[in-house]
Structure 1
Amino acid sequence: MDSQVGPYLNSKALCSPLGAARLCQLALGCAVISMVTHSAGYSGSQGVFCMAAWCFCFAVSVVVFFVDATRLYSCLPVSWDNLTVTCAAFATLLYVTASVVYPLFFVRSECPYEGCDVRNFRIAVTICSILATLAYGAEVALCRARPGQAVVGYMATVSGLLKVIQGFVACIIFGALANGSEYSRYAATIYCAVVYAFCFALTAVVVMMTVCGQTRAVRCMPFDRFVVVCTLLEVLLYLSASVVWPVFCFDSKYGSPWRRSPCTWGACPWDSKVVVAVFSFINFGLYVADLVYSQRLRFISSHVPTNLRM
């Protein structure tokens, strides 16, 4: 017999600001996918990315809402609070990207050959995508740990959220590296690619340890100190890559400081090199901010969920 007192369904999954944010995510995500498949349409790699991002976020939101409403999270071998805020942060980044890419490639002021209805649907898709971004951002804000609060759910802290952004930026770097960046031309640029991959893997390990509730797996040091050590290593590695990559890509001795004119947009090695350089500096700044914040972080390991759901 189940000894838990109270209803089987979690009323807070509906009657709470967090529940309202998730319902908005479901409604807006359903609206976006329906309008795109009905009339707005999508094509090319940009359209496929946007559609994949919307479908992935919608599927994750459905699973999160269902599991939270039925209290099935108690059967999962994960830290539910860390998992949900990680998913919400990642979905926010995906929706932000899709909300920029879709109108940039598919929305025009004049009516396309399909008619003005298609243009209007695409505008509506963009608006709903932006609103869904705000809904996911609201979930992150509601779950974020407040200053002075005892930290149990690491992913709800600024440091944990920065880990998600760092991983997302690293994925952009990998995409640019694979898009004809010619990174295998020099040993130095290969070193930079290895740095990006190693730092991404190290960040993923920290996130997975937290989501799986294995924060006591590091026996030689506390988890918060382990995070600081990893972040400091990543800062140093990204600092070296942020210096080496521009030198070997844009110095006239090794590469080209200017974009050559007969170079197709979207398939130009110089463009990919610029993207890698820019986002390398962005991720370096994110790791520095993460390191600064981690100095004040004191993580409390506990087997008790961070939010007591009645």
Structure 2
Amino acid sequence: MSGTMEPPGGAYLHLGAVTSPVGTARVLQLVFGCTTFSLVAHRGGFAGVQGTFCMAAWGFCFALSVLVVACEFTKLHGCLRLSWGNFTAAFAMLATLLCATAAVIYPLYFTQLQCLPEPAGCTARNFRLSASVFAGLLFLSYASEVALTRARPGQVASYMATVSGLLKIVQAFVACIIFGALVHDSNYGRYAAMQWCVAVYSLCFLVTVAVVALSVMGHMGALGCPFDRLVVVYTFLAVLLYLSAAVIWPVFCFDPKYGEPRRPPNCPQGSCSWDSQLVIAIFTYVNLLLYIVDLAYSQRIRFVPTL
């Protein structure tokens, strides 16, 4: 009679979700994330777009980390209609980028060695310094998860855990930086050639997001042709498109015939179109390099869609 009884509830808990190296990194993410935004919210303080971004990034990463740890610990991720390996790998890479950005922005805009004016005083300064330290530790904890879960050469893994899959997240993140500069007084509507560059950024971003979404949802087999071959073809086309943008954008922004080769002396700090154009040019070359590296790796990846 006792042999037919269901196993106790503890048997359904996966202790490795918090005791394995990856599990330990995720627990540290929860600890460092909660500590960081608690220090800022309690006495450190934040303001403006920069502070709001940092708090949003830390809050988003903490919330999803709680979901990941809870699902891993209770094994409920098996009930979700998505590829769990692809989801966790994509989230870890995105969280690494978000936390790295916040770890740079918050100290840059809010941290100083001198005490703040009263009533904040030295207490707020100390809280901000502590938050900056924990923000750096939070970034390292997410980066360690990426390093631990990244597929090694020749290893069969989920697509988002491969170098090509991780680069897709970085490419989309860089594209968001480009879009932010575009809407910040970049004057991209002056010439049709510059609008072509905007179309390139938008098209590549949308397809990259679609690749990530299909991977996370586990629908890669629904395309009717090999997913890895489609990825290689798309990445090759993205290299060509970004190559055209890398040539066209600087010419129509910094060539004396069409734009300004140097920053205008009367251009106001923080709202200068030349600055936005320079940021777009720099990150265009960054994404071009990322797509080239992606093309080199995507030709030799081995992954299992159901992982």
For the superposition of Structure 1 and Structure 2, which TM-score range results when normalised by the shorter chain? Answer: over 0.9
Which of the numbers 192, 211, 229 marks the counterpart of 1:206? 211
**Equivalent residue for 1:91?**
95
Query: 1:50, CA displacement in angstroms?
Result: 0.8
Give the counterpart letter for 1:89 in structure 2.
M
Alignment of 1:215-294 (within 5 A): 215-219=220-224, 221-294=225-298
Which of the numbers 15, 37, 41 marks the counterpart of 1:33? 37
Q: Are 2:146 and 1:130 equivalent residues in the alignment?
A: no
Structure 1: gaps (5+ residues): 306-310
For 2:64 and 2:7, locate their aligned partners in 1 and report how far apart those are by CA, in whole Å.
Answer: 27
Query: 1:298, CA displacement in angstroms?
Result: 3.1
Give the counterpart letter for 1:207 in structure 2.
V
Identity %: 53
Structure 1 window deviating more from structure 2 (169-178 vs 256-265): it is: 256-265
Give the counterpart letter for 1:202 in structure 2.
V
Q: Are 2:205 and 1:196 equivalent residues in the alignment?
A: no
**Equivalent residue for 2:126?**
120
Tell me the secondary structure at the aligned position of residue 183 of structure 1.
coil
TM-score, length-normalised on structure 2?
0.94
Which whole-Å deviations, capped at 9, do the CAs of 1:101-138 have from their partners, x for residues lacking one? 11111112221212111111111111100001010011
For 1:222 and 1:299, locate their aligned partners in 2 and report how far apart those are by CA, in whole Å.
Answer: 12
**Equivalent residue for 1:308?**
none
Gap change, CA 1:3 and 1:214, over 3 Å in 2:
farther
Tell me the secondary structure at the aligned position of residue 252 of structure 1.
coil
For 2:300 and 2:247, locate their aligned partners in 1 and report how far apart those are by CA, in whole Å.
Answer: 29
Instruction: Report how many residues are paired.
Output: 301
Which whole-Å deviations, capped at 9, do the CAs of 1:241-291 have from their partners, x for residues lacking one? 011000001111111111112222221111000000000000000000000
Contact 1:218–1:226 under 8 Å retained in 2: no
Give the counterpart letter for 1:86 in structure 2.
A
Contact 1:223–1:299 under 8 Å retained in 2: no
Which of the numbers 59, 64, 71 marks the counterpart of 2:75? 71
For 1:23 and 1:252, locate their aligned partners in 2 and report how far apart those are by CA, in whole Å.
Answer: 54
Gap change, CA 1:2 and 1:116, over 3 Å in 2:
farther
Structure 2: gaps (5+ residues): none
Contact 1:36–1:125 under 8 Å retained in 2: yes
For 1:42 and 1:299, locate their aligned partners in 2 and report how far apart those are by CA, in whole Å.
Answer: 43
Contact 2:29–2:65 under 8 Å retained in 1: yes
For 2:221 and 2:244, locate their aligned partners in 1 and report how far apart those are by CA, in whole Å.
Answer: 31
Gap change, CA 1:265 and 1:2, over 3 Å in 2:
farther
**Equivalent residue for 1:155?**
160
Higher helix share: 2
For 1:232 and 1:87, locate their aligned partners in 2 and report how far apart those are by CA, in whole Å.
Answer: 25
Q: Are 2:113 and 1:109 equivalent residues in the alignment?
A: yes
For 1:111 and 1:43, locate their aligned partners in 2 and report how far apart those are by CA, in whole Å.
Answer: 17
For 2:7 and 2:264, locate their aligned partners in 1 and report how far apart those are by CA, in whole Å.
Answer: 68
Query: 1:3, CA displacement in angstroms?
Result: 8.6
Which whole-Å deviations, capped at 9, do the CAs of 1:187-218 have from their partners, x for residues lacking one? 11111011000000011111111111111122
Tell me the secondary structure at the aligned position of residue 223 of structure 2.
coil
